[in-house]
Structure formats: structure tokens, C-alpha cells
């Protein structure tokens, strides 16, 4: 047995120290700052998953529009070096990048520079050559790239390019798989195409647009596609759970063998972001506040509403039952199973390595779970997510 999992008391003593160290921390700049508290039961529940070696550690967070209701750390950022997990650690948030990409699109929609109904060929001339398998020309709308109904194919080596421009040229040469709008099929290509359109319209690289138009106004200092050397030191390690029940360090596959600090890779809008729970929590607070933050209007209320309005009708979607899709976001239409404790209309996204963030506009809260496990059978339906959200929604 790994010494870090050898006793309940070891984890408990570390967790008490972490709670003492961070018990008075609040998200910088939130209105009505108050002493941060923890919700009863969450710490012990997450500690159980750490003891059973389901995960190395987790950050749990609950916010409303004004303040942090819960922030807690359990376990380890680095098992081999006995490094405890704290709210200062960064995580690869994978597909939780998709709602952020959608926010960037909606900023330009608010400014009248884009329409969700526009054909993507209006901004990307190479997309005029999109065809289906029969050789017929196909039109794809910007909305269809963001709600996974575009039918565009994935590249065999999706992260080998160094720019979204290069990737988009390749996307345009692949036959569309089905009539756009007729089927829901999760699409990395679609999201990256939307990000390329942001680049063309704004005349900025997507990572620069994100920093200037979203991160800087919100004070998100730890969110981005490329890490500094100091940020990389705070990156929580990712783990795979082996058939023998052990945790083995696992690479971040999206990096395709490169380092998080390497900027010679495309800003993968579909899943390339790194962030902290605090940074992403503030993004959730922006949405709970209807698109404004401390008097600064980032998104219109209408655009925030569009993110969480179902756009896929009765098409079956992923990744748990009862969902639809909005603009870059999964939307809970009929709460059940892993979403049974959430209100209808809750929207958000999960990530490949288990991170989760869900905004419940009815209860006025957002629930964030930050973990780094590579091989959940379905991260959106993990027992950890279910246990956390049950306790958080019932006790917050």
C-alpha cells in the first residue's frame, strides 16, 4: 500500500492543516467578502474517495453570485513527492474550456460582429468547400459548431498543428458526416472552428482574445492555454487508476508530448485550458450575475441566457440522461441520475479528467469539482461528482 494512503489519520491531519491554512481565504475581489466556510459532509466524503485511491485529491467549491460558500482541499497534488493539494494548484480542465470558448463567441455577438445563425463560410472562405460524402456542398452555422450538431469530422492527429488557422484548413477538406442539425455528435473540430472565427473577426490569436476580453477584466491570473514555469510547478499531476486499484501518473494527452509551457502548439479551444478552482469559480459567478462583474459588463444578460438555453430540440445528447445542449454548454432539461440534485435549466460542462462546473440559476449557486483522474468510465457520471453535488446542493 502506498504510504500516503496507509492511514485515515495521515490524510485527516493533512486536511486539518490545509483547512486551517485556507479556512479564511475568500475569492479575491468578491463583493461582501466573508470568512470562507465549508459545507458539512463534503470533506469526509471526498476523503473516502482518496482513501480508496479513486483519486489522488480534489478541490471542491460552491459559490453564489457574491461569495464563496464552500472551498475545501483533500489529498495530494503529487503523490510521489508527498505534495498536498491546495486551492493554489492548477488543473487541466479539458472540455470545461468549451463554455469559455462560447463566452468569447458571445462577446462578439453582443458587439454585433457575429451572429450564431451565420454560416461559418462567411468568416472562413475555405469552409465554402465543405462537402458531404456524396460530394454535395454543405453549410454549417456558427451555432452548429457550438452545440455539436455540425457533423464535421475530427482529424487523425487533432493536436499536431501549431495554430487554429492550420487546423481549420484541414477541417475544411474533410467530408461532413451527416446533415448539420440532424444529429448530435460531440465535436472537437466544431469548437475549434468557432474559436478560429473569433480570431478572424477580432484580429487576435484566440489565446490573446481570451486574456484581454475575459481573463484580465475578471482578474483570472491562472487561466490560459500556456503555463509559465512557476505555474507549471503548481500544476496538479494526473493519475490513472490501474486494474489493481493503484494510482499511476498519467500524461495530459492533449499536449501530444509537449510541455504545458510550450507555446508552439495551437490554443485548443475545445479542451486546452488550465485553470484553478478560484478562477473558474469567478467565471461561474460572472454567469450567476447575468454577465457583469463588480460593475463591469462582460456579457449581456441575453447572451448568458443563450448559453444555457436548449438548442438541440429532442436530439439525444451526451453524456448523462436528460440533457440537451445550449451554446457551448450542456443543459440539464430533465434532472435524473447524476443530475437529479440539480434544477432543470442548470448548465455547465465536465472535463476528461473529472473536473466539473455546473451553474444552477434556480438555486443561484455553482458547484465546482477539480480532480485529475485520467480513466473515469464516464467523468460526468462519476460517484465523486454525485456525492459532492448531493451534499453541496442539500446543505449549501
Q: How far apart are CA 266 and CA 163, in angstroms?
A: 4
Q: What's the grid cell of residue 341?
A: 440534485
DSSP state of 248: E
Q: How far apart are CA 375 and CA 377, in angstroms?
A: 6
Q: How far apart are CA 36 and CA 39, in angstroms?
A: 10
Q: pTM of the predicted model, to two decimals?
A: 0.92
Helix (H, G, I), strand (E, B) or coil at 119: strand
Could you write out the three-class secondary structure of 226-262?
CCCHHHHHCECCEEEECCCCCEEEECCHHHCCCCCCC
The predicted structure's pLDDT at residue 396:
60
| Residue 330, strand partner residues | 325, 348
The predicted structure's pLDDT at residue 395:
80
Query: Residue 395: phi, psi to the nearest 5?
Result: -115, -15
Please answer whether residues 69 and 37 qualify as being in contact, where contact means their C-beta atoms are separated by less than 8 angstroms: yes
Q: List all residues 6 or more positions away from 267 whose beta carbon is below 8 Å from its beta carbon.
A: 164, 195, 205, 206, 207, 210, 225, 226
Residue 135's CB: how many other CB atoms inside 10 A? 7
CA distance from start to end of the chain? 36
Q: List all residues 6 or more positions away from 250 whose beta carbon is below 8 Å from its beta carbon.
A: 238, 239, 240, 374, 375
The predicted structure's pLDDT at residue 29:
36
Q: Please tell me whether the peptide bond between 319 and the residue prior to it is cis, using omega within 30 degrees of 0.
A: yes
Query: Residue 48: phi, psi to the nearest 5?
Result: -65, -40
57-63 vs 365-370, strand pairing mode: antiparallel
Q: How far apart are CA 368 and CA 381, in angstroms?
A: 14
Q: What's the grid cell of residue 50?
A: 482518496
Domains of the chain by start residue, with CATH:
3-91+225-253+275-395 (3.40.710.10), 99-209 (3.40.710.10)
pLDDT tens track, the chain, 396 positions = 333 333 333 343 334 333 333 333 333 333 333 445 899 999 999 999 999 999 999 999 999 999 999 999 999 999 999 999 999 999 999 999 999 999 999 999 999 999 999 999 999 999 999 999 999 999 999 999 999 999 999 999 999 999 999 999 999 999 999 999 999 999 999 999 999 999 999 999 999 999 999 999 999 999 999 999 999 999 999 999 999 999 999 999 999 999 999 999 999 999 999 999 999 999 999 999 999 999 999 999 999 999 999 999 999 999 999 999 999 999 999 999 999 999 999 999 999 999 999 999 999 999 999 999 999 999 999 999 999 999 999 886
Please answer whether residues 93 and 77 qualify as being in contact, where contact means their C-beta atoms are separated by less than 8 angstroms: no
DSSP state of 214: I
Q: How far apart are CA 270 and CA 360, in angstroms?
A: 23
The predicted structure's pLDDT at residue 5:
35
The predicted structure's pLDDT at residue 36:
59
The predicted structure's pLDDT at residue 372:
98
User: What is the enclosing helix (H) or strand (E) of 201?
Assistant: helix 188-202
Please answer whether residues 154 and 131 qualify as being in contact, where contact means their C-beta atoms are separated by less than 8 angstroms: no
The predicted structure's pLDDT at residue 171:
98
Helices (H) and strands (E) in the chain, counts: 12, 14
Amino acid at each position: 500500500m502506498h504510504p500516503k494512503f496507509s492511514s485515515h489519520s495521515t490524510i485527516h491531519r493533512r486536511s486539518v492543516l490545509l483547512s486551517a491554512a485556507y479556512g479564511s481565504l475568500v475569492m479575491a475581489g468578491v463583493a461582501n467578502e466573508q470568512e470562507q466556510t465549508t459545507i458539512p459532509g463534503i470533506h469526509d466524503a471526498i476523503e473516502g474517495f482518496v482513501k480508496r485511491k479513486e483519486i489522488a485529491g480534489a478541490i471542491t467549491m460552491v459559490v453564489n453570485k457574491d461569495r464563496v460558500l464552500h472551498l475545501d482541499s483533500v489529498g495530494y497534488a503529487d503523490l510521489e513527492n508527498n505534495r498536498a493539494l491546495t486551492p493554489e494548484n492548477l488543473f487541466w480542465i479539458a472540455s470545461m474550456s468549451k463554455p469559455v470558448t462560447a463566452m468569447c463567441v458571445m462577446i462578439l455577438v453582443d458587439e454585433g460582429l457575429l451572429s450564431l445563425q451565420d454560416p461559418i463560410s462567411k468568416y472562413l472562405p475555405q469552409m465554402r468547400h465543405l462537402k458531404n460524402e456524396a460530394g454535395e456542398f454543405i453549410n454549417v452555422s456558427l451555432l452548429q459548431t457550438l452545440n455539436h450538431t455540425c457533423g464535421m469530422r475530427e482529424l487523425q492527429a487533432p493536436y499536431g498543428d501549431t495554430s487554429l488557422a492550420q487546423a481549420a484548413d484541414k477541417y475544411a477538406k474533410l467530408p461532413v458526416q451527416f446533415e448539420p442539425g440532424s444529429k448530435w455528435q460531440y465535436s472537437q473540430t466544431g469548437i475549434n472552428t468557432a474559436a478560429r472565427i473569433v480570431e478572424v473577426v477580432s484580429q487576435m490569436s484566440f489565446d490573446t482574445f481570451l486574456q484581454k476580453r475575459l481573463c484580465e477584466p475578471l482578474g483570472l491570473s491562472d487561466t490560459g492555454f500556456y503555463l509559465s514555469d512557476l505555474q507549471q510547478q503548481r500544476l496538479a499531476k494526473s493519475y490513472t487508476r490501474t486494474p489493481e486499484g493503484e494510482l499511476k501518473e498519467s500524461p495530459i494527452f492533449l499536449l501530444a508530448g509537449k510541455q504545458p509551457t510550450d507555446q508552439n502548439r495551437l490554443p485548443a479551444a475545445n479542451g486546452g485550458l488550465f485553470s484553478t478552482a478560484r478562477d473558474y469559480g469567478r467565471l461561474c459567478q460572472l454567469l450567476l450575475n447575468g454577465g457583469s462583474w463588480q460593475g463591469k459588463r462582460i456579457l449581456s444578460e441575453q447572451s448568458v441566457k443563450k448559453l444555457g438555453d436548449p438548442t438541440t430540440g429532442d436530439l439525444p445528447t451526451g453524456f448523462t440522461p436528460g440533457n440537451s445542449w445550449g451554446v457551448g454548454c450542456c443543459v440539464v432539461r430533465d434532472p435524473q441520475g447524476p443530475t437529479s440534485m440539480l434544477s432543470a435549466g442548470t448548465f455547465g460542462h465536465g472535463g476528461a479528467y473529472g473536473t466539473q462546473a455546473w451553474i444552477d440559476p434556480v438555486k443561484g449557486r455553482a458547484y465546482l469539482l477539480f480532480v485529475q483522474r485520467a480513466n473515469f468510465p464516464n467523468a460526468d457520471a462519476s460517484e465523486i461528482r454525485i456525492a459532492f453535488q448531493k451534499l453541496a446542493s442539500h446543505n449549501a
